[in-house]
Chains A and B, each alone.
Chain A
């Protein structure tokens, strides 16, 4: 982390890990015989699990003059307008609600639109390293202990922000990652209310068409979890998930936890059972990196721990 006076203008180099996919050769991947290419082990071997796309990879520098308080997204939009319209990155609402723009900034998964230049720009020089000789890449935002004061640097010190696609997912182009695996995992855990259908009854005892009742305290048990925007920051931060081990992932588990804690939901046992597989709660190693940059302030690691305990208790009862 770095700090700087809010009103400063900074000249910053955005160092973008770029990738352009090779055009698909017609007739190769699709349109062949639906039977011929099938391997007996299910699926087409050539399109293997890694799902790696071929193409050209390179690093490209863009220098922009930015306000210390600008977001990194503002800088990239200026690059698109003024320097390179071909640079690809997802963005939509621009204020941390839509969840489109999760990328790795200086190696740390976070949202482009909530990341400020002054928090992420750092001196671009080989001398810059901490006491152990490592370049600090993953300092949490709230740790100002090791913060570098940009105002204290020599005025012409070059500054850089490194950008790459969200880790843990296949890169499709430049900063665009394929997050379908996350959405598939969310879908697998039935992310929808399975209501108990307890409707309010009238004085005469008749069922009436009213809302399911829920006390504010009951709402409070899952309200924060329901704010998840499925941006994938926690997934990219998780060494188990992004490391390629089989794990349904923190985002899918948060979605499941949201319904586990909803007093209206009737599928409590089924949801726990769904998390009992080897890629479920058992795969979480409680590293808690997932909590560091959640844009909605969910303590993902702690929530997962709570759910793991529920799953373990349910398992114990089964035995």
Chain B
């Protein structure tokens, strides 16, 4: 569904239609401020632009659950949730923001239930809750049932329920529209203000400039930076790249969570429950190696610990090849589920059992399963405050970007710190997405006058983009004509994306060092960026030309990759998901701070907000 005709001006445009974008739309439309505007006869123009049909959003793949101290199984307290979140993030969490997350979590989950989410239930009819790694009672004393779930399909349930509520509220969508430019202007004082967006309607191939007073970026993560990822093909860091290209910064972008048990080279997740139920990790020699790395915790050590141990085994030459590609690299280890028996596998791990059979062609009751850490979540992103407002950090202070907001995985409100706790990502997206929607409504209610001249920069950007896309299409080989530049003709965006994924995986997956990071940075500058510049489409038909979108996506990925490498190189310590082989310990003296890095690659450091819980060693 797309608008028949674009309005000349929008009060707010939300980019992305996953949990964060849809929550923002609902938060806006259900707010008191919006109701008041309606009562006055004022109908603000709101549009949700997304590169996928909303029901295809990657939120739908989330399996485990959403954390909230509902206390439906045993007593729970949001302060314990807060503590677990801070500790999980290796003390790089802004504690005031995490307090909002933990305190408002129960309300958020109840709200989702009221919106129709088919949560699993207890016998008394309340929402069921399960144990999840790192969630404890009494500040780490013992595990607590905190994670609300819907079998292993919580993301699907939340995505569909939010979309359904948007249907009810008559939210307007522009589907399969790709945002190519974020237009931000600066006043004489240097203060930044959003003016709108340039979008490509992929159905027609037409470029539009959209004048907007408020923009929300809710585009998701950047897992496609890595070859092996649990993320869908569409997680290309678009929102982060748009912010960078508009002259803004990213916060803590060096922190990427790798889930230890991706199914070999597919990257598809095998749930943590596989190890919880007794699955064991073995190296090429058949050794149960986790006892060596994490005595006492073994296979159930924290995600980053297990991922690092697997990579250490692979680096030591004790990895195994994916049986599907027996001559390929020995970069996997085995997950041994054979001892569980077929019945247990089927009853307790149905998704794992089916996924292994379907996507590896192996029988987990009889075969060893190849696994490999898979890029799962970007902790960092576009820096935002408690109400979703994007800011810039300079001269030791935050400066808000007027009218620009962000929510969900593409943003960084700093509740995940250096390593996200399981079941906190849907919570972040829904909770801060809703808050963003509300603050949007309040802003819209305040501002009334529209100065059309102010949007000239949007139209100029649209014209530039239109020419650029025409050039991409014009570069397509004609039916009869000679293609000319054979080299450019041989390359394409999909191949470049694959090469970037392989490069980033070698340089920065799970562990890195100054040498690997600078080598990757040099390879990008020397080889990949020039290749990206030379790319053209191979068909000159503009309608549904996926290659044009892919060219813009790979350019977005490259921009994000550069900042990720720069930020990782500047942090001379290991913390949470970032492990530097040349600086293996945490250094609170120098790096209890958020990295802030823009396209210039200059890295600034913003202190972490600590309220109640001073840093301690993070031991599990």
Same complex for A and B? Answer yes
Q: Which residue of A lies closest to B542 (CB)?
A: A23
A192 contacts B167, CB within 8 Å? yes
Q: Which of A122-130, A213-221, A242-250, A273-281 contacts B (4 or more CB under 8 A)?
A: A213-221
Q: Is A149 an interface residue (CB 8 A)?
A: no
B221 to chain A, nearest CB (A): 13
B110 contacts A226, CB within 8 Å? no
User: Within the assembled complex, what's the spacing in Å between the Cα atoms of A260 and B388?
Assistant: 37
Q: Which chain B residues lie closer than 8 Å to A98 at the CB level?
A: 52, 55-58, 60-61, 232
The residue from A21, A183, A226 contacting B53, defined by CB atoms under 8 A apart: A183
A-B contact pairs, 20 of them (CB 8 A): A23-B542, A69-B361, A84-B538, A85-B494, A85-B537, A85-B547, A93-B56, A95-B266, A95-B268, A172-B543, A176-B544, A191-B167, A192-B161, A193-B114, A211-B110, A211-B127, A219-B120, A222-B118, A262-B116, A264-B116
A226 contacts B121, CB within 8 Å? no
Given the known inter-chain contacts A81-B495, A211-B114, A223-B151, please indicate yes or no for A86 contacting B539, CB distance below 8 A.
yes
Q: Is A293 an interface residue (CB 8 A)?
A: no
The residue from B123, B126, B233, B493 contacting A94, defined by CB atoms under 8 A apart: B233
Q: Is A236 an interface residue (CB 8 A)?
A: no
Chain B 280-324: CB-based contact to A (< 8 A → 1; otherwise 0): 000000000000000000000000000000000000000000011
4 additional contacts (CB under 8 A) given A100-B52, A214-B121: A81-B492, A92-B234, A99-B55, A192-B161
Chain B 113-146: CB-based contact to A (< 8 A → 1; otherwise 0): 1111011111111110000000000000000000
Q: Which chain A residues lie closer than 8 Å to B116 at the CB level?
A: 192-193, 195, 262, 264
B61 contacts A213, CB within 8 Å? no
Q: Which of B152-160, B444-452, B558-566, B580-588 contacts A (4 or more CB under 8 A)?
A: B152-160
A78 to chain B, nearest CB (A): 9
B448 to chain A, nearest CB (A): 28
B61 contacts A97, CB within 8 Å? yes
A172 contacts B359, CB within 8 Å? no
B1 contacts A183, CB within 8 Å? yes
Q: Which chain B residues lie closer than 8 Å to A114 at the CB level?
A: 358
The residue from B114, B123, B355 contacting A95, defined by CB atoms under 8 A apart: B355
User: Within the assembled complex, what's the spacing in Å between the Cα atoms of A227 and B4?
Assistant: 31
Q: Is A35 an interface residue (CB 8 A)?
A: no
Q: Which chain B residues lie closer than 8 Å to A173 at the CB level?
A: 541, 543-544
List the 4 shortest-distance A-B pairs measured between CB atoms, nearest first. A213-B125, A193-B116, A69-B361, A86-B539
Q: Is A57 an interface residue (CB 8 A)?
A: no
User: Within the assembled complex, what's the spacing in Å between the Cα atoms of A148 and B57?
Assistant: 37
Q: Is A147 an interface residue (CB 8 A)?
A: no
Q: CB within 8 Å of B: which of A152-178?
A: 172-174, 176
A86 contacts B1, CB within 8 Å? no
A38 to chain B, nearest CB (A): 14
Q: Which residue of A lies closest to B231 (CB)?
A: A93
Q: Is A266 an interface residue (CB 8 A)?
A: no
B164 contacts A192, CB within 8 Å? yes
Q: Which residue of A lies closest to B155 (CB)?
A: A97
B544 contacts A21, CB within 8 Å? yes
User: Within the assembled complex, what's the spacing in Å between the Cα atoms of A23 and B541?
Assistant: 7
User: Within the assembled complex, what's the spacing in Å between the Cα atoms of A21 and B114?
Assistant: 44
The residue from A23, A94, A183, A213 contacting B543, defined by CB atoms under 8 A apart: A23
User: Within the assembled complex, what's the spacing in Å between the Cα atoms of A34 and B428?
Assistant: 45
Chain B 210-238: CB-based contact to A (< 8 A → 1; otherwise 0): 00000000000000000000001110000
Q: Which residue of A lies closest to B495 (CB)?
A: A81
The residue from A82, A191, A216, A222 contacting B164, defined by CB atoms under 8 A apart: A191
Q: Which chain B residues lie closer than 8 Å to A92 at the CB level?
A: 52, 56, 58, 232-234
User: Within the assembled complex, what's the spacing in Å between the Cα atoms of A114 and B360?
Assistant: 12
B521 to chain A, nearest CB (A): 25
The residue from A91, A211, A227 contacting B126, defined by CB atoms under 8 A apart: A211
Q: Which chain B residues lie closer than 8 Å to A17 at the CB level?
A: none
Given the known inter-chain contacts A67-B324, A212-B113, please indicate yes or no for A88 contacting B60, CB distance below 8 A.
no
A227 contacts B153, CB within 8 Å? yes
Q: Which chain B residues lie closer than 8 Å to A209 at the CB level?
A: 107, 110
| Highest count of chain A CB atoms <10 Å: which of B52, B116, B160, B323 | B116
Q: Which chain B residues lie closer than 8 Å to A67 at the CB level?
A: 324
User: Within the assembled complex, what's the spacing in Å between the Cα atoms of A23 and B545?
Assistant: 12
B118 contacts A86, CB within 8 Å? no
Q: Which chain A residues lie closer than 8 Å to B127 at the CB level?
A: 211
Given the known inter-chain contacts A180-B1, A213-B126, please indicate yes or no for A81 contacting B498, CB distance below 8 A.
yes
User: Within the assembled complex, what's the spacing in Å between the Cα atoms of A69 and B494?
Assistant: 23
B189 to chain A, nearest CB (A): 41
Q: Is B203 an interface residue (CB 8 A)?
A: yes
A99 contacts B151, CB within 8 Å? no
The residue from A187, A193, A216 contacting B161, defined by CB atoms under 8 A apart: A193
Q: Is B483 an interface residue (CB 8 A)?
A: no
Q: Is B546 an interface residue (CB 8 A)?
A: yes
Q: Which residue of A lies closest to B123 (CB)?
A: A216
Q: Which chain B residues lie closer than 8 Å to A85 at the CB level?
A: 492-494, 537-538, 547, 550
Q: Which chain A residues lie closer than 8 Å to B542 at the CB level?
A: 23
The residue from A82, A90, A93, A192 contacting B61, defined by CB atoms under 8 A apart: A93
User: Within the assembled complex, what's the spacing in Å between the Cα atoms of A173 and B545?
Assistant: 9
Q: Which chain B residues lie closer than 8 Å to A218 at the CB level?
A: 121
Q: Is B463 an interface residue (CB 8 A)?
A: no
A223 to chain B, nearest CB (A): 6
Given the known inter-chain contacts A85-B493, A187-B167, please indicate yes or no for A99 contacting B56, CB distance below 8 A.
yes
Q: Is A6 an interface residue (CB 8 A)?
A: yes
A212 contacts B204, CB within 8 Å? no
A86 contacts B547, CB within 8 Å? yes
User: Within the assembled complex, what's the spacing in Å between the Cα atoms of A166 and B168?
Assistant: 28
Q: Is A80 an interface residue (CB 8 A)?
A: yes
| Highest count of chain B CB atoms <10 Å: which of A184, A211, A216 | A211
The residue from B157, B360, B538 contacting A86, defined by CB atoms under 8 A apart: B538
User: Within the assembled complex, what's the spacing in Å between the Cα atoms of A145 and B169?
Assistant: 50
A93 contacts B232, CB within 8 Å? yes
B534 to chain A, nearest CB (A): 14
User: Within the assembled complex, what's the spacing in Å between the Cα atoms of A297 and B61?
Assistant: 17
Q: Is A229 an interface residue (CB 8 A)?
A: yes
A81 contacts B494, CB within 8 Å? yes
User: Within the assembled complex, what's the spacing in Å between the Cα atoms of A24 and B359?
Assistant: 41
A86 contacts B537, CB within 8 Å? yes
Q: Is A15 an interface residue (CB 8 A)?
A: no
Chain B 38-81: CB-based contact to A (< 8 A → 1; otherwise 0): 00000000000000110111101100000000000000000000
Chain A 98-125: CB-based contact to B (< 8 A → 1; otherwise 0): 1110000000000000100000000000
Q: CB within 8 Å of B: which of A242-294?
A: 262, 264
Q: CB within 8 Å of A: which of B310-350?
A: 323-324
User: Within the assembled complex, what's the spacing in Å between the Cα atoms of A42 and B324?
Assistant: 58
B71 to chain A, nearest CB (A): 11
Q: Is B609 an interface residue (CB 8 A)?
A: no
Q: Which chain A residues lie closer than 8 Å to B165 at the CB level?
A: 192
Q: Which residue of B lies closest to A92 (CB)?
A: B232
B541 contacts A21, CB within 8 Å? yes
Q: Which chain B residues lie closer than 8 Å to A97 at the CB level?
A: 60-61, 156
Q: Which chain B residues lie closer than 8 Å to A68 at the CB level?
A: 361
User: Within the assembled complex, what's the spacing in Å between the Cα atoms of A180 and B323?
Assistant: 41
Q: Which residue of A lies closest to B161 (CB)?
A: A193
User: Within the assembled complex, what's the spacing in Å between the Cα atoms of A173 and B550?
Assistant: 16
Q: Is A230 an interface residue (CB 8 A)?
A: yes
Q: Which chain B residues lie closer than 8 Å to A77 at the CB level?
A: 494
A211 contacts B113, CB within 8 Å? yes
A24 contacts B204, CB within 8 Å? yes
A295 to chain B, nearest CB (A): 11
Q: Which chain B residues lie closer than 8 Å to A99 at the CB level?
A: 55-56
Q: Which residue of B lies closest to A81 (CB)?
A: B494
B244 to chain A, nearest CB (A): 24
User: Within the assembled complex, what's the spacing in Å between the Cα atoms of A84 and B164?
Assistant: 37
